[in-house]
Amino acid sequence: MESIQAIKQRFGIIGNDPKLNRSIEKAIQVAPTDISVLVTGESGVGKESIPKIIHQLSHRKHGKYIAVNCGAIPEGTIDSELFGHEKGAFTGATSTRSGYFEVADEGTIFLDEVGELPLTTQVRLLRVLENGEFIKVGSSKVQKTNVRIVAATNINMFEAIKKEKFREDLYYRLSTVEINLPPLRDRKDDIHLLFRKFASDFALKYKMPTVKLTDDAISLLVKYRWNGNIRQLRNVAEQVSVLEQDRTINGNTIQNYLPNTGSNLPAIVNTSKSESDFSSEREILYKVLFDMKGDLSDLKKLTMELMKKGSNSDVQKDNEHLIQKIYGEDKDEAFEAAVEDLEILSIPEHKETIEEIEPETEDKYHFAEEIEEEETLSLHDKELELIKKSLERHSGKRKLAAAELGISERTLYRKIKQFDL
């Protein structure tokens, strides 16, 4: 078995961090088996090196090694890419095509960004992991394959499972052995070492002297968060090597190449809202609810006052602000609308009499006026007379009176109010 240092030299891995060494050691140990491996870690930490180590140290090293970026293949074609398709299986399928699992038989497939697989494809992949069987798109024939699967992801798989974006049974099938690569910010002693390696490579590539860092520049690199990890460090080293005329780089110069925030770079992220976000939202909701509760209480109070006292000027004065808030700016119109709404809502459907609505105004319905001996031609008087007679005949029951008069109950009520009956 090769040593960790020999493996690093062979695969161009730079660094002496204990966590990095442990990850490489696990890859060396699991390589001779056919166990499925899941490589986890933030984007840019170098996850693609682990499946290469596993393949080269396994008995499959003479077979094919295929790396598939699952996130880069459209959802509609990924099944065809992985498992192949028959001629005519879909529009554009002009011939039969072999998929990666058929081509890589006896070899290794590296599924990068496996967390991006559609759920339907996850079901097919689970079948391959369980018994080595798959079916081409558009075919009914079951085929067998003997493929070693190494997968990688930069997302939180438990969060994806919780949100039902990734199958839990597939996760446990893929992660028989899980190898986690540490982010660059946890490998502080390796940062300057990596920068020197990249600077040397770019000096050779662009045929120019190698850049060197001063102590303050090294300190800045070590303290920086590196959300883009090794990929971001390599990018900075290339920019500095190409753009700077002075080959000695100090802190002020290197600072220009370090973004203030790297949060927009790919990394393992927690997409859930922070506690502070939820707290502020809760406070806003509570405030709205309390305001609504207060308005309802005021409205109940106003309703009770109107029911007890009617269109009393004291009620209008005491509740002026609330009435205007609900019914508009004009005080008189707002109050009249409030009273009318209350009266309309209180109109009974069956046996309620005028005396029951306004018991304190019983005298209004004792029609003591003497009917004039001489017939009048006034429409107003005739209308008043007809309404009075109808109400008397039906003992004050507005619904029956309205039906007899051929008008709506609401119109009758307004006439009663108009004539002050």
pLDDT for position 421: 73
Looking at the predicted structure, is the pLDDT value of residue 219 above 80? yes
Looking at the predicted structure, is the pLDDT value of residue 336 above 70? no
Provide mean pLDDT across the span 357-381.
50
pLDDT for position 320: 63
Q: Using 50, 70 and 90 to split pLDDT, how confident is the model at 415?
A: confident
Looking at the predicted structure, is the pLDDT value of residue 196 above 50? yes
d(CA 92, CA 135) in angstroms, rounded, equals 19
Q: Which residues of 113-127 are buried (b: 16+ CB within 10 A; e: fewer)?
A: bbbbbbeebbebbee
- pTM of this prediction? 0.61
d(CA 280, CA 297) in angstroms, rounded, equals 26
Looking at the predicted structure, is the pLDDT value of residue 27 above 60? yes
Q: Alpha-carbon torsion 87, 93, 98, 100, what sign? A: negative
Rg for the chain, CA atoms, rounded = 42
Helices 379-393 & 398-405 angle (0-180, nearest 10)? 130
CB 192, CB 218: distance < 8 Å: yes
Looking at the predicted structure, is the pLDDT value of residue 36 above 70? yes
Looking at the predicted structure, is the pLDDT value of residue 382 above 90? no
For 47, counting Cβ atoms within 10 Å of its Cβ (0-12 exposed, 13-18 middle, 19+ buried), the class is: buried
pLDDT for position 263: 43
* Residues facing 143 on adjacent strands: 134
pLDDT for position 211: 95
Q: What percent of the chain has pLDDT over 70?
A: 73
Residue of 29 and 326 predicted with greater confidence: 29
pLDDT tens-digit readout, 243-284: 999 999 999 999 999 987 544 444 444 545 555 555 566 667
pLDDT for position 260: 77
Q: Between β-strands 142-144 and 248-249, what pairing exists: parallel, antiparallel or unpaired?
A: unpaired
Angstrom distances, CA of residue 153 to CA of 15, 45, 244, 411 = 22, 11, 36, 74
Looking at the predicted structure, is the pLDDT value of residue 164 above 70? yes
Residue of 67 and 339 predicted with greater confidence: 67
Backbone angles phi, psi at 342, to 5 degrees: -65, -40
Provide mean pLDDT across the span 300-323.
61
Q: What percent of the chain has pLDDT over 90?
A: 58
pLDDT for position 381: 75
Question: 208 Cβ partners below 8 Å, 6+ apart?
Answer: 241
The CA-CA-CA angle for residues 249, 251, 253, to 5°, reads 60
pLDDT for position 341: 56
Alpha helices in 207-263 (DSSP H): 215-223, 229-243, 251-255
Looking at the predicted structure, is the pLDDT value of residue 366 above 70? no
Which domains does the chain carry?
4-182 (3.40.50.300), 185-255 (1.10.8.60), 274-346 (no CATH), 350-421 (1.10.10)
CB 268, CB 156: distance < 8 Å: yes
pLDDT for position 305: 65
Q: How many CB atoms lie within 10 A of CB 351?
A: 9
Among left, alpha and beta (phi > 0; psi -120 to 50; other), residue 369 is: beta
DSSP string, 321-390: HHHHHHH-S-HHHHHHHHHHHHHHHT--SSS--HHHH-GGGGGGG---PPPPSS----HHHHHHHHHHHH
Among left, alpha and beta (phi > 0; psi -120 to 50; other), residue 184 is: alpha
pLDDT for position 342: 55
d(CA 233, CA 222) in angstroms, rounded, equals 11
pLDDT tens-digit readout, 83-136: 999 998 888 888 999 999 999 999 999 999 999 999 999 999 999 999 999 999
Looking at the predicted structure, is the pLDDT value of residue 412 above 80? no
CB 146, CB 133: distance < 8 Å: no
d(CA 344, CA 306) in angstroms, rounded, equals 13
Q: How many CB atoms lie within 10 A of CB 391?
A: 24
CB 223, CB 184: distance < 8 Å: no
DSSP one-letter code for 274: P
pLDDT for position 326: 57
CB 226, CB 42: distance < 8 Å: no
pLDDT for position 408: 81
Residue with tokens 């660094």: 15
Inter-residue long-range contacts of 202-209, CB under 8 Å, 24+ positions, other chains counted: 202/237, 202/238, 202/241, 202/242, 203/241, 206/241, 206/242, 208/241, 209/247
pLDDT for position 404: 81
pLDDT for position 332: 59
Select from 189, 256, 260 the least CA-distant residue to 222.
189
CB 202, CB 241: distance < 8 Å: yes
pLDDT for position 399: 81
Q: How many CB atoms lie within 10 A of CB 156?
A: 17
Provide mean pLDDT across the span 36-48.
96
User: For residue 95, what are its two tokens?
Assistant: 């011939």
pLDDT for position 49: 96
pLDDT for position 407: 81
